[in-house]
Amino acid sequence: RKEVEQDPGPFNVPEGATVAFNCTYSNSASQSFFWYRQDCRKEPKLLMSVYSSGNEDGRFTAQLNRASQYISLLIRDSKLSDSATYLCVVKRDTGFQKLVFGTGTRLLVSP
């Protein structure tokens, strides 16, 4: 079983739609959580960190449920420019730190 699991998609949505991505992680020692965005053939870029209390950044809302080891990302009012792959990432804060990536969920926003 992979340490971080995501539905690979693709999710095809029209502009203006609301879309949600989910992610589960298996290592309970994971302590930091992030969503990264990756455009085709480019490097991943940090979209937002995910906090236990939930957090919002404009049209993006991230939630964390430590008990269920579950992370979500909600995108409201989708734009064409949101088309990308969204990577769920966890980091263990024991010993040295490394980022563990999910497979990514591909989002395609159409006019």
Partner 1 sequence: DAGVTQSPTHLIKTRGQQVTLRCSPKSGHDTVSWYQQALGQGPQFIFQYYEEEERQRGNFPDRFSGHQFPNYSSELNVNALLLGDSALYLCASSLEVRGNRLGNYGYTFGSGTRLTVV
Give the binding range for partner 1 (CB under 8 A) out of 13-21, 57-65, 70-78, 85-93: 85-93
CA distances to 6, 56, 61, 64, 106 from 9, in Å: 9, 23, 19, 21, 5
48 contacts partner 1 (rule: CB under 8 A) = no
Determine which residue in the list 43, 58, 68, 81 makes contact with partner 1, applying CB under 8 A: 43
Of how many residues is the chain composed?
A: 111
103 contacts partner 1 (rule: CB under 8 A) = yes
Pick between residue 61 and residue 105 the one whose CB is nearest to partner 1: 105
41 contacts partner 1 (rule: CB under 8 A) = yes
Q: How far is CA 107 from the centre of its chain?
A: 11
Q: Which residues bind partner 1 (CB under 8 A)?
A: 4, 6, 8, 31-32, 34, 41-46, 49, 87, 91, 93, 95-104
